[in-house]
Amino acid sequence: MGVSGCGKSSLGAALARELGLPLIEGDDFHPPENVSKMRAGIALTDADRVGWLDTLAATLAAHTQGAVLSCSALKRGYRERLRAAVPGLMFVFMDLSREESERRVAGRGGHFFSATLVADQFATLESPVAEAGVLAVDATAPQPELVSQARAWLDQAAAAGRAP
């Protein structure tokens, strides 16, 4: 989880391969109205996200053997909505500076998310660092390092009986 451009999709895909689990790409579940708004540079509201979060929660819960979900989950309330569907759900928070997020988003082509929305994402972000079941990582670290950190954290949680 994290702001746009932090590498959620890339890390999610790599971690899903590493763990042998399916990947649920959150962006694929946005309704057309949300995509149109974001493409036009209009920030989503909490009301816009309700159906999307409910769909993600149901999809995640349906994968009873586990899955990796990549989604922004910027507010604690959004994360709690997902945790309600999958108790014990764990989050890897990809911490990234606003400047780096803007640079990355501006440099990617073909994505519906407008670079003008990065400021809104940072205004919306409620840091999950103090929440249980959250690993914060430096989103600028090399992907193999991030996968290794996440894998070790998940293995440690499983050994302690805390993994979902």
Tell me the per-residue pLDDT of 84-106, one tens digit each, with 9 for 90 and over: 999 999 999 999 999 999 888 88
Domain ranges of the chain: 8-159
Where does residue 146 rank: exposed (0-12), middle (13-18), buried (19+ CB within 10 A)? buried
Distance CA 134, CA 93 (A): 7
Name the pTM for this structure. Answer: 0.90
CA 3 to chain centre: 8
Confidence (pLDDT) at 40? 83
Fold that domain 8-159 belongs to in CATH: Rossmann fold (3.40.50)
More confident position, 110 or 124? 124
pLDDT band at 113 (very low <50, low <70, confident <90, very high): low
Distance CA 8, CA 1 (A): 6
pLDDT tens, position by position, 71-88: 999 999 999 999 999 999
Confidence (pLDDT) at 164? 64
Confidence (pLDDT) at 43? 85
pLDDT tens, position by position, 36-54: 888 888 888 999 999 999 9
Q: Which amino acid is at 143?
A: Q
Residues 136/95, Cβ–Cβ less than 8 Å: yes
pLDDT tens, position by position, 116-152: 788 888 999 999 999 999 999 999 999 999 999 999 9
Count of CB atoms situated within 10 Å of the CB of 161: 7
pLDDT tens, position by position, 3-39: 988 999 999 999 999 999 999 999 899 999 988 888 8
Confidence (pLDDT) at 114? 64
